[in-house]
């Protein structure tokens, strides 16, 4: 890791090693080239901005998932949280002023995430189990509060959010900008911020971290809470795009988020993974869906291709660790 780029490329087998090391970025670039070659529509601004809009919601929860996975945990609740929080946001936007609705929704997301965090960090529940329970609870609550059907935005605040979510600034969709800001903030945090370094430390060797006087439980608790807050952010975005909050939103998004993080080379054992690679993972998954849509491939074969890409990406990473 101390070698310069040039040294890496000129060492024996260097180019291959370099490709394997940055495999996610290369897969992404290859996919872009491939997409551009086989479809005239791909490189149009309409298609690209659609693509970005589609991935932003899942992208944001993938960042939360990355933080949880870095500590060696997993958060299955985020998809259902998106549904519950989208409904919550739609209800709130019709009741209170917009800034308050946003703040409250994110706070509720943080609170729900804290429940998982508490169960995992302080009650020593397996993350899979605790967040599986939260997943069911959140989905159920979403249906209860929405009374079974979508809640539509009715106020001026709703109109504002809808405009924001569907428009672009300097050619980039606003919601993608939100996503990119979150990615950049996470990159900075994981590199330069003590909190970021400590969650990597905990995921890499929890016992050593504890012996170094790090408050392991506190940080584990916090990543789930942050994941919940990011699920709330994603919920606000997806609700605003469609002008409503529906309890059917975010269906199996947690699995897409895990897939994105894994394609991005993170280890489910914790300690390894970066925000930029997770961004690549999100874009790769989005691109596959996009290009298959452009080629008119129906959705079931799409799922098969997605699965195959996951296997391919993880096999490549095993090659890297050798």
Partner 1 sequence: MKNSENEYRLEMSGISKSFGVVSVLKDVTLKVKPGEIHALLGENGAGKSTLIKILSGVHHKDSGTVFLNGEEINPKNTHEGQVLGISVVYQELSLVNDLSVAENIYLHKLGASKFWMNWDKITKDAQELIDSLGFTIDASAKVRDLSIVQKQVVEIAKALSEDTKVLVLDEPTTVFDPTDTKKLFDNLFRLRDKGISIIYISHHLDEIIKIADSITVLRDGVDTGTMAVKDTDTDGIIRLMIGRELKDLFPVRDAVIGTEPIFEVKNLTAKDTLVHDVSFSVRPGEVLGIAGLGGSGRTETAKLIFGADKKKSGTLILNGKEIKTKSPVDAAAHQIGFVSEDRKEEGVFLPLSIRRNVSVTNFKSISGKLGFINVDNEYKKVLGLIDKLNIKTPSSEVDVKNLSGGNQQKVALAKWLSIDSKVIFIDEPTRGVDVGAKIEIYNLINEVAKKGVGVVVISSDMPEIMGISDRILVMHDGTIYGELQKEQFSEENILRYSIGKALKQHN
Which residues bind to partner 1, rule: CB under 8 A?
1-2, 191-195, 197-198, 200-201, 203-205, 207-215, 271-272
- Burial class, 40, CB count within 10 angstroms (exposed 0-12 / middle 13-18 / buried 19+): exposed
Quote the least distance from Cβ 261 to partner 1, whole Å: 15
Quote the least distance from Cβ 193 to partner 1, whole Å: 6
Name the residue among 178, 174, 156 with its Cα closest to residue 93: 156
Would you say 192 or 300 has its CB closer to partner 1? 192
Distance of CA 308 to the CA centre of its chain: 20
Whether the Cβ atoms of residue 8 and residue 18 lie closer than 8 Å to each other: yes
Would you say 59 or 264 has its CB closer to partner 1? 264
| Sign of the CA dihedral with 165 first, then 231, 62, and 251 last | negative
The rounded distance, in Å, linking the Cα atoms of 36 and 31 is 8
Would you say 6 or 207 has its CB closer to partner 1? 207
DSSP run (H or E) holding 172: strand 172-173
Would you say 7 or 212 has its CB closer to partner 1? 212
Quote the least distance from Cβ 72 to partner 1, whole Å: 11
Cβ count within 10 A of residue 6: 9
Rounded to the nearest 10°, the torsion over CA 89, 183, 168, 58 is -50
The rounded distance, in Å, linking the Cα atoms of 23 and 313 is 8
Quote the least distance from Cβ 204 to partner 1, whole Å: 4
Would you say 200 or 244 has its CB closer to partner 1? 200
The rounded distance, in Å, linking the Cα atoms of 117 and 269 is 18
Would you say 211 or 311 has its CB closer to partner 1? 211
Q: Which tokens belong to 300?
A: 């079931």
Quote the least distance from Cβ 270 to partner 1, whole Å: 8
Would you say 154 or 191 has its CB closer to partner 1? 191
Quote the least distance from Cβ 308 to partner 1, whole Å: 29
Name the residue among 214, 261, 306 with its Cα closest to residue 67: 261
Quote the least distance from Cβ 313 to partner 1, whole Å: 20
Cβ count within 10 A of residue 207: 9
């Amino acid at each position: 890791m101390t070698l310069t780029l040039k040294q890496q490329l000129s060492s024996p087998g260097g180019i291959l090693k370099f490709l394997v090391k940055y495999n996610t970025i290369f897969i992404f670039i290859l996919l872009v080239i491939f997409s551009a070659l086989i479809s005239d529509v791909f490189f149009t601004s309409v298609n690209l901005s659609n693509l970005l809009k589609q991935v932003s919601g899942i992208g944001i929860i993938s960042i939360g998932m990355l933080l949880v996975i870095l500590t060696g945990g997993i958060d299955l609740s985020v998809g259902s949280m998106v549904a519950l929080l989208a409904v919550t946001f739609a209800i709130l936007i019709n009741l209170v002023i917009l800034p308050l609705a946003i703040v409250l929704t994110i706070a509720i997301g943080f609170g729900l995430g804290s429940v998982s965090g508490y169960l995992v960090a302080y009650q020593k529940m397996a993350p899979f189990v605790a967040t599986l329970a939260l997943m069911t609870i959140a989905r159920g609550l979403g249906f209860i509060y929405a009374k079974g059907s979508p809640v539509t935005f009715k106020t001026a605040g709703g109109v504002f959010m809808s405009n924001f979510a569907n428009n672009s600034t300097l050619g980039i969709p606003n919601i993608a900008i939100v996503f990119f800001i979150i990615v950049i903030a996470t990159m900075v945090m994981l590199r330069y911020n003590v909190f970021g370094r400590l969650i990597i430390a905990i995921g890499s060797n929890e016992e050593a971290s504890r012996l170094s006087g790090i408050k392991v439980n506190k940080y584990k608790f916090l990543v789930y809470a942050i994941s919940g807050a990011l699920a709330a952010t994603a919920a606000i975005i997806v609700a605003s795009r469609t002008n409503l909050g529906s309890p059917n939103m975010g269906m199996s998004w947690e699995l897409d988020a895990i897939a994105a993080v894994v394609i991005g080379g993170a280890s489910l054992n914790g300690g390894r993974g970066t925000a930029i690679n997770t961004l690549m993972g999100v874009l790769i998954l989005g691109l596959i869906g996009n290009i298959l849509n452009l080629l008119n491939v129906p959705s079931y074969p799409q799922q098969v291709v997605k699965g195959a890409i996951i296997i391919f990406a993880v096999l490549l990473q095993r090659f890297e660790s050798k």
